[in-house]
Structure formats: C-alpha cells, structure tokens
C-alpha cells in the first residue's frame, strides 16, 4: 500500500509543478500561495484535532482503535 501512496504523491507533485506557472500567470502569485496556505492550515488542523494520538501505542492497539470506531459508526447508521 505504501508504494501506491508514494506513486500517487509523485504524480501529484508532477502535476503541481506543471500547472504552477500557468496558475501564477493567470491568478497571481499571492492568490496561488494563499490557496496553498489554506490547504496547509486545513491539513495541520486535521492532524491536530481529528487524527488520533498514537504515541506509546503498539500497532495492534492502533488497529483495534480504528476497528472499534468503524463498528460504532456502522451501528449508528439507519
């Protein structure tokens, strides 16, 4: 799975590098970097408030915490 994620990341990086000059010429560098800033802040907030803390937990404990959440979500659906 890690290889697939890595390939997707490289493809996304390639796409961003190719479209960056066109976006800067059309929207201006301030707008492009403002959008980048918004996505970066959203990512940081997601990591800080939504992702579970895994420090000091074993892999099995982490997997069990995701499994129990998935079951509780499925049980609450109508």
What kind and span of H or E run contains 9?
A: helix 2-27
Domain boundaries, the chain: 2-76
Query: 11-56, pLDDT tens digit by residue?
Result: 999 999 999 999 999 999 999 999 999 999 999 999 899 888 888 9
Q: Assess whether pLDDT exceeds 60 at residue 76.
A: no
CA distance 30 to 36: 10
Residue 55 has phi, psi (to 5 degrees) of -65, 130
The structure tokens listed for 30 are 């301030």
Residues in CB range of 17: below 8 A, 6 or more apart: none
């Amino acid at each position: 799975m890690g290889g697939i994620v890595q390939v997707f990341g490289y493809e996304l990086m390639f796409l961003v590098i190719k479209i960056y000059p066109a976006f800067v010429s059309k929207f201006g560098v301030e707008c492009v970097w403002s959008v980048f800033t918004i996505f970066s802040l959203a990512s940081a907030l997601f990591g800080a408030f939504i992702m579970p803390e895994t420090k000091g937990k074993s892999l099995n404990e982490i997997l069990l915490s995701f499994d129990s959440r998935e079951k509780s979500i499925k049980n609450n659906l109508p």
